[in-house]
Homo-oligomer: A and B are copies of this chain.
Amino acid sequence: MAKPPVSSATRTFGERVRECRHELGVSQETLAACAGLHWTFVSQAERGLRNISLHNLLKLSAGLQVDPARLVTGLEPPES
């Protein structure tokens, strides 16, 4: 059974990463290589399984050739 996303924020973030990747027309492996990340990290981030760090967020947005703002705009903090 697939693991649930960590939060609605990481889920939405992951959906946006996937959307941008599809717009770019590249695989998770290619994005990972461009971003300097492991492809399993990209896969987990897209499934909302990662409470990603600022640096990795910036590596992903650079690899996706989008402003980091696009990946986080409007996201709400998790209910802590």
> For the complex, what is the distance from the CA of A35 to the CA of B67, rounded to whole Å?
25
Count of residues in A whose CB is under 8 Å from the partner chain: 28
> For the complex, what is the distance from the CA of A78 to the CA of B59, rounded to whole Å?
8
Task: Please report A residues at the B interface, Cβ cutoff 8 Å.
Answer: 7, 9-10, 13, 35-36, 51-55, 57-59, 61-62, 67-70, 72-78, 80
- Which residues of B sit under 8 angstroms from A36, Cβ to Cβ? 77, 80
- How far in angstroms is the closest Cβ of chain B from A38? 12
Q: Which of B59, B61, B72, B74 is within 8 Å of A54, CB to CB?
A: B72
> For the complex, what is the distance from the CA of A68 to the CA of B55, rounded to whole Å?
15
Q: Which of B51, B55, B77, B80 is within 8 Å of A77, CB to CB?
A: B55
